Amino acid sequence: MRFAVTYRIFAADLAEARARAEAIALEQTVEIPRDVVPEGYIAEEILGRIEEIGPEAEGRFRATISYSPDSAGAELAQFFNVIFGNSSIQRGLRVIGIDPGEEMARRHPGPRFGIDGIRALCGRTRGGLIAPVLKPQGLDADALAEIGYRCARAGADLIKEDHGIMDQPMAPFRERVEKTAIAVARANAESGAETGAGTGRKTLYFPSLAGAPDEIEANIRFAKQAGADGVLVMPGLLGFGVVARIARDPWLNLPVMTHPSFLGPYVLSADTGFDHGVMFGTLQRLAGADISVFPNVGGRFGFSAAECGQIARACRDPAGPGLAMLPSPGGGMSVARAGNMAAMYGTDVVYLLGGSLLRLGDRIEEGIHAMRAALDRAEGAAR
C-alpha cells in the first residue's frame, strides 16, 4: 500500500507540468536519470509513480505521486525526506496534501492523546482550553514557577513555557521544570483538582524541551519524572523526529505540543514549501503532536483567516491521519476578541495567552477568569 503526496506545480502547460512531476518522482526516490534506473524492483516499486495530474488554474497544476513504504523506511525523517526533501529546493512547487495510506499510517500512528485525550487529562470536557505562557526569558526558575502557580490557581487548562525558554543560565531546564511542576501541583491540590478523566479539573504543565541531541533523551525522562504533564517541542529546530519519539513511548505517555518557531519560510511563499494546513496540521499530526501552535490571524504575524481556518481543519479532520488534534492559535487573543475567536475556531481549540496576561502583574488570575467567562459566554452564544 503506497502513500501519496499531492503537489501544486506552477508550469506553463500540462506537458511541462508532467515533465516536472516525472522529475519529482525521480528526485524524491532514486535521484538518478530515468534511463539509469535499474529495472525490476527499483523501477517498479521504489521509483515514484504519477497517479494523477491535471490543471488547477491558469499556470497551476496538481499532481499526485505515490511512493513505496520501502522508500520511506521506518523513520519519520526519511518519510518526510521522500515527501519533499530535495524537491523543497525547487521553485514553483508546493505540497498541498499527504495521504499516508494504510502502511505508513501504521508506522506513524500520529497523536497518542488527540482532542479527547487532552480533554480527559485536564478535565475540560467542553469549550476552548485556556493556555497561559510562562515568560519572559530572563526570569529565574522561581519567578517562572510563581507565574505558573498563579495561572494554575486561576484554573488555566494548560500552562506552557515560552519556546524561547530552554536551558539558559538564568533558569536552567532541570531546575525550572522541577520547581514549576511542584508549583503547579501545589496549585492543583489547593484547588481540589483531581487527576484523570471525568469530573475533576486539573491544570497541565508543558515545559519547553531543551538539550543537545545527546542530552535530550535524558531531559525528556527527567521532565516526565519531575511531574510534567506534556512537552512543548520546536520541530523546526529539534527535528520532527523528536515529536515522534515522544509520542510513541508508552512509558512516557506524554502529550506533545508543537511550536512553529523557525518553520515560517515553509509556508510564506505560495509557490514553495507546504500549504499552511499541511505544515501546521498534517505534518504535525503525522509526527504525533496532540496540540499544534500556529500564529493566529490578527496577531503579530500575517496569517489570514483563511490560512488559520485551513490549519484548524487539517488539525481536526476526522479522516486523519491518526487522531484529531487541537489547533492552538497564538497571539491576538483577548476578552474583546473571544466572540470572534469562538465563532472562527469552534470549541476544540487551545488559546495561548501571552503578553497581554503578563501586563496584569499581580492580577493575572483576574485575567484568566475574565477570559474564561468571555469564552464561556461566546461559546454559549454560538451554541
Closer Cβ to a second copy, 42 or 105, answer by number = 42
CB of 215 to a second copy, least distance (A): 9
Residues 6+ apart with CB under 8 A from 306: none
Give the cell for residue 119: 480533554
Edge-first strand order for the sheet with 129-134 is 204-206, 158-161, 129-134, 350-353
The DSSP-derived string for 4-58 is: EEEEEEE-SSHHHHHHHHHHHHHHTTT-S-GGGSPTTHIIIIIS-EEEEEEEEET
Q: Is 240 one of the binding residues for a second copy (CB under 8 A)?
A: yes
Residues 6+ apart with CB under 8 A from 353: 130, 131, 132, 133, 333, 367, 368, 371
Say which residue the cell 492543583 belongs to. Answer: 188
φ, ψ of residue 26 to 5 degrees: the values are: -75, -50
Which of these ranges, 64-72, 150-158, 185-193, 312-320, lies near a second copy under the rule CB under 8 A? 64-72
Q: Is 108 one of the binding residues for a second copy (CB under 8 A)?
A: no
Q: Is 88 one of the binding residues for a second copy (CB under 8 A)?
A: yes
CB of 356 to a second copy, least distance (A): 8
CB of 345 to a second copy, least distance (A): 19
Binding-site member from 64, 71, 188, 284 for a second copy (CB under 8 A)? 71
Q: Is 66 one of the binding residues for a second copy (CB under 8 A)?
A: no
Binding-site member from 59, 136, 227, 346 for a second copy (CB under 8 A)? 136
The answer to whether the beta carbons of residues 93 and 85 sit under 8 Å apart is: no
The answer to whether the beta carbons of residues 65 and 49 sit under 8 Å apart is: yes
Binding-site member from 234, 286, 291, 297 for a second copy (CB under 8 A)? 234
Q: Is 138 one of the binding residues for a second copy (CB under 8 A)?
A: yes
Strand ranges inside 145-290, DSSP E? 158-161, 204-206, 231-233, 256-258
For residues 53 and 63, give the distance between their C-alpha atoms in angstroms, rounded to a whole number: 4
Distance of CA 168 to the CA centre of its chain: 24
Closer Cβ to a second copy, 72 or 121, answer by number = 72
Closer Cβ to a second copy, 96 or 193, answer by number = 96
CB of 21 to a second copy, least distance (A): 14
Q: How many residues bind a second copy (CB under 8 A)?
A: 85
Binding-site member from 14, 170, 343, 373 for a second copy (CB under 8 A)? 170
CB of 245 to a second copy, least distance (A): 5
Residues 346-365 that bind a second copy (CB under 8 A): 354-355, 358-359
CA-based radius of gyration for the chain: 22
CB of 29 to a second copy, least distance (A): 6
The DSSP-derived string for 64-87 is: EEEE-HHHH-S-HHHHHHHHHTGG
Residues 2-41, one symbol each (x = binds a second copy by CB under 8 A, - = not), give: ---------------------x---xxxxxxx-xxxx--x
Residues 282-311 that bind a second copy (CB under 8 A): 295, 300-302
Binding-site member from 52, 86, 106, 305 for a second copy (CB under 8 A)? 86
Would you give the DSSP letter of residue 90? S
Which of these ranges, 115-123, 134-142, 193-201, 374-382, lies near a second copy under the rule CB under 8 A? 134-142
CB of 332 to a second copy, least distance (A): 13
Q: Is 164 one of the binding residues for a second copy (CB under 8 A)?
A: yes
Residues 6+ apart with CB under 8 A from 217: none
